[in-house]
Amino acid sequence: MEANFSRTQSDRKKRQAKKFGDPNNPLLVSSRSGAKFSMPGMMETILNIGLTDEVVRGIIDTTGNDRFAWDSYRRLIEMYGTVVMNVPDEAFEHPLAEYKYEKGYKLDIEMRAEDWQEIVGTYKQVYKQETGTDFPQDPYKQLSLAIEAVFKSWNGKRAVAYRRKEGISDSLGTAVNICTMVFGNMGEDSATGVAFTRNPSNGKKTMMGDFLINAQGEDVVAGIRNTEPIEHLEKYMPKAYKQFMKITKRLEHHYKEMQDVEFTIERGTLWMLQTRNGKRTAKAAVKIAVDMANEGLITRDDAILRITPEVVDALLHPQFGDAAMEQAESEGKFFARGVNASPGAAVGQIYFEADTAEKMAKEQHQQVIMVRPFTKPDDVHGMIASKGVLTSEGGATSHAAVVARQFGIPCVVGASSIKIDLEAKSMTVNGTTLKEGDWISVDGGSGKVFAGKIPTTEPTLEEQTELMTLLKWADEVCARKNIRKGYPSTGLQVWANADYPKDAQRARLYGAVGIGLCRTEHMFFETRRLPIVQQMILAKTSTERIDALNQLLEYQRKDFDGLFEAMNGYPVIIRLIDPPLHEFMPDEEKLLEEVITLRATGKMQGLKEKENLLSVIRAMRESNPMLGLRGVRLSIAMPEIVEMQVRAIFEAASDCVKRGIKAKPEIMIPLVGTVKELEWIQPRLESIAKKVMKEKQIKFTYKFGTMIEVPRASLTANRVAEKAEFFSFGTNDLTQMTFAYSRDDAERNFLVTYQEQGILEKNPFQTLDREGVGELMRWTINSGRETRPNLEVGICGEHGGDPDSIEWCHIIGNNYVSCSPFRVPVARLAAAHAALKHKPKKQK
Amino acid sequence: MEANFSRTQSDRKKRQAKKFGDPNNPLLVSSRSGAKFSMPGMMETILNIGLTDEVVRGIIDTTGNDRFAWDSYRRLIEMYGTVVMNVPDEAFEHPLAEYKYEKGYKLDIEMRAEDWQEIVGTYKQVYKQETGTDFPQDPYKQLSLAIEAVFKSWNGKRAVAYRRKEGISDSLGTAVNICTMVFGNMGEDSATGVAFTRNPSNGKKTMMGDFLINAQGEDVVAGIRNTEPIEHLEKYMPKAYKQFMKITKRLEHHYKEMQDVEFTIERGTLWMLQTRNGKRTAKAAVKIAVDMANEGLITRDDAILRITPEVVDALLHPQFGDAAMEQAESEGKFFARGVNASPGAAVGQIYFEADTAEKMAKEQHQQVIMVRPFTKPDDVHGMIASKGVLTSEGGATSHAAVVARQFGIPCVVGASSIKIDLEAKSMTVNGTTLKEGDWISVDGGSGKVFAGKIPTTEPTLEEQTELMTLLKWADEVCARKNIRKGYPSTGLQVWANADYPKDAQRARLYGAVGIGLCRTEHMFFETRRLPIVQQMILAKTSTERIDALNQLLEYQRKDFDGLFEAMNGYPVIIRLIDPPLHEFMPDEEKLLEEVITLRATGKMQGLKEKENLLSVIRAMRESNPMLGLRGVRLSIAMPEIVEMQVRAIFEAASDCVKRGIKAKPEIMIPLVGTVKELEWIQPRLESIAKKVMKEKQIKFTYKFGTMIEVPRASLTANRVAEKAEFFSFGTNDLTQMTFAYSRDDAERNFLVTYQEQGILEKNPFQTLDREGVGELMRWTINSGRETRPNLEVGICGEHGGDPDSIEWCHIIGNNYVSCSPFRVPVARLAAAHAALKHKPKKQK
What is the DSSP track for B31-47?
A: EEESS-TT-TT--EEEE
- Among the residue ranges A173-182, A484-493, B344-353, the one predicted with the least confidence is A173-182
Q: Which residue has the higher pLDDT, B16 or B634?
A: B634
Instruction: Residue B456: name the closest of B636, B316, B585 by CA.
Output: B316
Higher-pLDDT residue of A50 and B777 is: B777
Name every chain B residue with its beta carbon within 8 A of the beta carbon of A753.
Answer: 636-637
Residue B323, C-beta contacts closer than 8 angstroms, at least 6 positions apart: none
The 3-state secondary structure of A275-287 reads EEECCCCHHHHHH
Give B496-528 pLDDT, tens digit per residue: 999 889 999 999 999 999 999 999 887 788 888
Please give the C-alpha separations between residue B242 and each of A176, B193, B194, in angstroms, as whole numbers.
109, 15, 16
Distances (CA, A) of B433 to B426, B430, B443, B448: 7, 8, 19, 17
User: Where is pLDDT greater, at A279 or B284?
Assistant: B284
Residue B783 contacts A, CB cutoff 8 Å? no
Residue A11 in this model has a pLDDT that exceeds 50: no
Q: What is the reported pLDDT for B689?
A: 97
pLDDT of residue A7: 37
- According to the model, what pLDDT value does residue A9 have? 34
Give A-chain residues touching B753 at CB under 8 angstroms: 636-637
Choose from A214-223, A374-383, B119-128 the range with maximum mean pLDDT.
B119-128
Is residue B182 within 8 Å of B271, Cβ to Cβ? yes
Window A:485-514, CB contacts with B under 8 Å: none
Q: Which residue has the higher pLDDT, A7 or A463?
A: A463
A680 with B636: Cβ contact below 8 A = no
Phi, psi of A701 (to 5 degrees): -85, 155
Say whether residue B484 is in contact with chain A using an 8 A CB cutoff. Answer: no
Q: Are B385 and B357 in contact (CB under 8 A)?
A: yes
Catalytic positions of B, written as ranges: 399, 796
B422/B76 Cα distance (integer angstroms): 44
| CB half-sphere exposure, B428, CA atoms < 13 A | 8
- Scanning A152-171 for CB atoms below 8 A from B yields none
Look at residue B4 and give its three-state secondary structure: strand
Nearest to B737 among A596, A597, A711 (CB): A711
Task: Confirm if A818 and A731 have CB atoms less than 8 A apart.
Answer: no
From A41-55, A399-413, A548-562, the region with the lowest mean pLDDT:
A41-55
Higher pLDDT, A556 or A522: A556
Query: Which one, of A765, A767, A800, A795, lies nearest residue A781 by Cα?
Result: A795
Instruction: Round to whole Å and give the CA distance between B484 and B475.
Output: 15
DSSP letter at A418? P
A619, closest residue in chain B (CA to CA): B378
User: For residue B2, what pLDDT is reported?
Assistant: 34
* Range picked from A85-99, A314-328, B314-328 for highest mean pLDDT: A85-99
The answer to whether B690 touches B724, Cβ cutoff 8 Å, is no
Contacts of B763 in chain A (CB under 8 A): none
Q: Tell whether the model's pLDDT for residue B296 goes beyond 90.
A: yes
Confidence of residue A161 (pLDDT cuts 50, 70, 90): confident
Q: Is A673 on the interface with B (CB under 8 A)?
A: yes
For A303, counting Cβ atoms within 10 Å of its Cβ (0-12 exposed, 13-18 middle, 19+ buried), the class is buried
Q: Which of A796, A799, A819, A833 is catalytic?
A: A796
A600 interaction partners in chain B (CB closer than 8 Å): 596-597, 600-601
CB contact under 8 A, A711 and B716: no
Strand-strand pairing, B515-519 and B493-497: parallel
Give A477 or A16, the one with higher predicted confidence: A477
Angle at B430 between CA B429 and CA B433, to 5 degrees: 50
Is the CB of residue A775 less than 8 Å away from at least one CB of chain B?
yes
Tell me the pLDDT band of A200, cut-offs 50, 70 and 90.
confident
CA B605 – CA B600 distance, rounded (Å): 13
Does the pLDDT value for residue B451 go beyond 50? Answer: yes
Kindly report, residue by residue over A625-676, the tens digit of the pLDDT: 999 999 999 999 999 999 999 999 999 999 999 999 999 999 999 999 999 9
Residues of A in contact with B711 (CB under 8 A): 711, 737-740, 772, 776
Distance (Å, whole) CA A613 – CA A785? 48
Q: How far apart are the C-alpha atoms of A211 and A229, rounded to whole Å? A: 7
The mean predicted confidence, pLDDT, of chain A is 87
Rg (CA), chain B: 34
Contact B759 A593 (CB under 8 A): no
- Write down the pTM of the prediction: 0.81
Strand order in the sheet with B228-229: B228-229, B208-213, B191-196, B259-266, B269-277
**Closest residue by Cα to residue A587 from A556, A614, A619:** A614
For chains A and B, what is the number of CB pairs under 8 angstroms? 189
Query: With bands split at pLDDT 50, 70 and 90, how would you rate the model's confidence at A835?
Result: very high
Query: In terms of Cα–Cα distance, which of A517, A519, A523 is closest to A800?
Result: A517
The mean pLDDT value for A234-261 works out to 94
The residue-averaged pLDDT of B144-155 equals 82
Q: What is the mean pLDDT of residues A688-702?
A: 96
Question: Among partner residues A597, A710, A749, which is closest to B629 by beta-carbon distance?
Answer: A749
CB contact under 8 A, A741 and B627: yes
Residue A399 annotated in active site: yes
Q: How confident is the model at residue B741 (pLDDT cuts 50, 70, 90)?
A: very high
| Cβ of residue A737 closer than 8 Å to a chain B Cβ | yes
Of the candidates B629, B745, B769, which has its C-beta nearest A750's C-beta? B629
List the beta bridge partners of residue A262: A194, A274
Probe site for chain A from B376, B578, B738 (most A CB atoms < 10 A)? B738
Question: What pLDDT is recorded for position B358?
Answer: 92
Q: A612 has which bridge partners?
A: none
How far does B839 lie from chain A, in Å, by closest CA? 27
Question: Is residue A381 among the annotated active site residues?
Answer: no
How many C-alpha atoms does A604 have within 13 Å on its Cβ side?
A: 0
Closest CA to A309 of A844, A743, A817: A817
Dihedral sign from CA coordinates of B497, B502, B507, B508: positive
Q: Is any Cβ of chain B less than 8 angstroms from the Cβ of A709?
A: yes
Cross-chain CB nearest to A626 (options B624, B637, B710): B624
From the list B677, B753, B775, the residue facing A636 with the nearest CB is B753
Contacts of B633 in chain A (CB under 8 A): 750
pLDDT at B575: 97
Of A44-53, A203-212, B294-303, B827-836, the range with the lowest mean pLDDT is A44-53
Residue A58's pLDDT is 87
Distance from the B623 Cα atom to the nearest Cα atom in chain A, whole angstroms: 7
Partner residue opposite B740 with nearest CB, options A592, A601, A627:
A627
Q: In terms of pLDDT, which residue wins out, A398 or B607?
A: B607
Share of chain A above pLDDT 70, in %: 93
Q: Does A759 touch chain B (CB under 8 A)?
A: yes
Residue B406 binned pLDDT confidence (cut-offs 50, 70, 90) = low
**DSSP β-ladder status, A174-180 and A27-33:** antiparallel
How far apart, in whole angstroms, are the C-alpha atoms of residue A629 and residue A620? 9
Is A579 at the interface with chain B, CB within 8 A? no
Q: Is the pLDDT of residue A218 over 80?
A: no
Candidates A381, A399, A676, A737: best to mutate against B (most CBs of B within 10 A) is A737
Confidence band, pLDDT 50/70/90 cuts, at residue B735: very high
For residue range A578-632, list pLDDT tens digits in order: 998 888 888 888 888 888 888 878 778 888 888 888 888 888 888 899 999 999 9
* Nearest residue in chain A measured CA to CA from B736: A627
Cβ–Cβ contact A593 with B under 8 A: yes
Q: Do B710 and A776 touch (CB under 8 A)?
A: no
Average pLDDT over residues A332-357: 91
Give yes or no for A151 touching B (CB within 8 A): no
Contacts of A719 in chain B (CB under 8 A): 771
- Contact between B741 and A627 using a beta-carbon 8 Å cutoff: yes
- Residue B32: what pLDDT? 44
To the nearest whole number, what is the mean pLDDT of chain B? 87
For residue B445, pLDDT beyond 50: yes
Q: Beta strand pairing status for A448-451 and B319-320?
A: unpaired
pLDDT at B685 over 70: yes
